[in-house]
Structure formats: C-alpha cells, structure tokens
C-alpha cells in the first residue's frame, strides 16, 4: 500500500498536530505503551490526506468537524462487512432523523472537498476515523457529533489501542489490529510505522 501522503506533507501535518494537540496527546498517552508519535502516525494514515489542504484555511475545530470520511458500502464498487453495510441498513435500524443528520454531516465534508451532495451515511468519524459500527454501543458520540472535539476523538483511539495492546503486547501487531486483519491491515501498519519515524523528526 503506497503512503497516502509524501514525507514533506506528513511533516507538515505532524507539525500541525503537535502545535495544536501536544498537551492532550501527552496526557492521554501518559503511563501507557503509546506516545505522541504513534497518534500522529495514525492520523497521517487515516485522514491527513484530506485535511492537509485545510491547515492554512481553517481552524483546528473546523477541520475536526469536517473529518467525516469513508462511504464504503455505498460508493460504487465498495463492500462493507461491519454494520451498517450501507445507508439502507442504517436507516432501517436507526430511522430517518439520525440518518439525515449523518448524511448532512457527510455532505458538509463532501462540499469542502469539491464534491456534490450524496444520499449516503458515511462510516468514519473524526481525525482517527471512529467507525460507525460503534453506534450500537456508543450512540451519543454520533448523535451529539462528538468528533468535533479532539479530546473525544482521543478517548476513542486510545481506548481501541489499549484494548488491542492487551491482546497483542506488541506495537506493530497492535497497530495492525487497530485497522483489522489480513494483508490490508498489514500494509496499514507498515505505513503507520513509517509515519511514526517521520513524526520523531518533528520536535
């Protein structure tokens, strides 16, 4: 899997993250196996390819709110195994009001990327892409649009990483498991490890 952004772009994105969120990242990773560079590496792999073009134009809060990505299951040629497989499955379980709220948020993001509106519920929320499958146990995150707040995004990524660490006790395997399993997850982990090395250059 090629890197989604170049080294120069990654360094710019990492600097932005450290300038804006260093204190929060330090606090969240204190007394854990993780550190700021890992969190920056994951963000570079997950979402920086989109928001890197917004850094000079928008506030951090605006950028966070627009991190609604991943139309898997609805975008032509894509499949999704986790709930919801597509917008129709989500609407059937959660109704039109919540569906329309999330569709509206997805279209806010699409507009900023120069895309037209689409009738799709997107699946990834926040700078670390908290997956919509979690709505079944964490409805308030999506209903209250908590991905607009970095601390809320941080809680989710740290919770997932710590859970994966407890099972693997190995950083590479933990990062791979954060994405899933199989060759795609291995490529994901390889990329994140490269971005972590870049992040160590930004002090």
Residue 105 in domain: yes
Residues 6+ apart with CB under 8 A from 66: 51, 54, 58, 108, 109, 112
**Contact of 121 with 90, CB cutoff 8 Å:** yes
Query: Is residue 1 domain-resident?
Result: no
Three-class HEC string of the chain: CCCCCCHHHHHHHHHHHHHHHHHHHHHHHCCCCCCHHHHHHHHHHHCHHHHCCCCCCCCHHHHHHCCEECCCCCCCCCCCCCCCCCHHHHHHHHHHHHHHHHHHHHHHHHHHCCCCCCCCCCCEECCCCEEHHHHHCCHHHHHCCHHHCHHHHHHHHHHHHHHHHHHHCCHHHHHHHHHCCHHHHHHHHHHHHHHHHHHCCCC
Structurally, the chain folds into a number of domains equal to 1
Residue among 20, 19, 14 at smallest CA distance from 151: 20
**How many Å apart are CA 129 and CA 22, to the nearest integer?**
19
Residue 140 lies in a domain: yes
How is residue 184 written in tokens?
């795609």
Residue 87 inside a domain? The answer is yes
Flag whether 2 is in a domain.
no
**Rounded distance, CA 14 to CA 138, Å?**
29
Residue 95 lies in a domain: yes
pLDDT of residue 157: 98
Residue 64 lies in a domain: yes
Residue 158: inside a domain: yes
| pLDDT tens-digit series, residues 131-188 | 999 999 999 999 999 999 999 999 999 999 999 999 999 999 999 999 998 999 999 9
Average pLDDT over residues 182-199: 97
189: confidence class by pLDDT, cuts 50, 70, 90? very high
Domain span holding position 116: 7-199
- The number of CA neighbours under 13 Å toward the Cβ of 83 is 11
pLDDT in tens, 31-80: 999 999 999 999 999 999 999 999 999 999 999 999 999 999 999 999 99
């Amino acid at each position: 899997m090629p890197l989604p952004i170049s080294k120069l772009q990654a360094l710019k994105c990492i600097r932005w993250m450290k300038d804006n969120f260093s204190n929060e990242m330090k606090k969240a990773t204190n007394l854990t196996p993780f550190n700021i560079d890992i969190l920056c590496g994951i963000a570079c792999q997950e979402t920086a390819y989109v928001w890197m073009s917004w850094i000079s134009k928008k506030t951090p809060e605006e950028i966070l709110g627009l991190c609604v990505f991943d139309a898997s299951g609805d975008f032509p040629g894509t499949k999704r195994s986790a709930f919801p497989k597509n917008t129709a499955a989500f609407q059937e379980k959660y109704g039109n009001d919540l569906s329309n709220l999330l569709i509206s948020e997805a279209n806010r993001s699409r507009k900023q990327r120069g895309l037209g509106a689409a009738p799709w519920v997107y699946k990834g929320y926040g700078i670390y892409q908290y997956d919509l499958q979690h709505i079944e146990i964490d409805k308030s995150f999506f209903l209250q649009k908590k991905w607009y707040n970095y601390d809320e995004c941080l809680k989710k990524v740290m919770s997932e990483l710590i859970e994966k660490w407890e099972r693997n006790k190995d950083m590479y395997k933990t990062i791979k498991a954060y994405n899933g399993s199989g060759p795609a997850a291995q490529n994901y982990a390889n990329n994140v490890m490269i971005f972590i090395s870049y992040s160590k250059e930004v002090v």
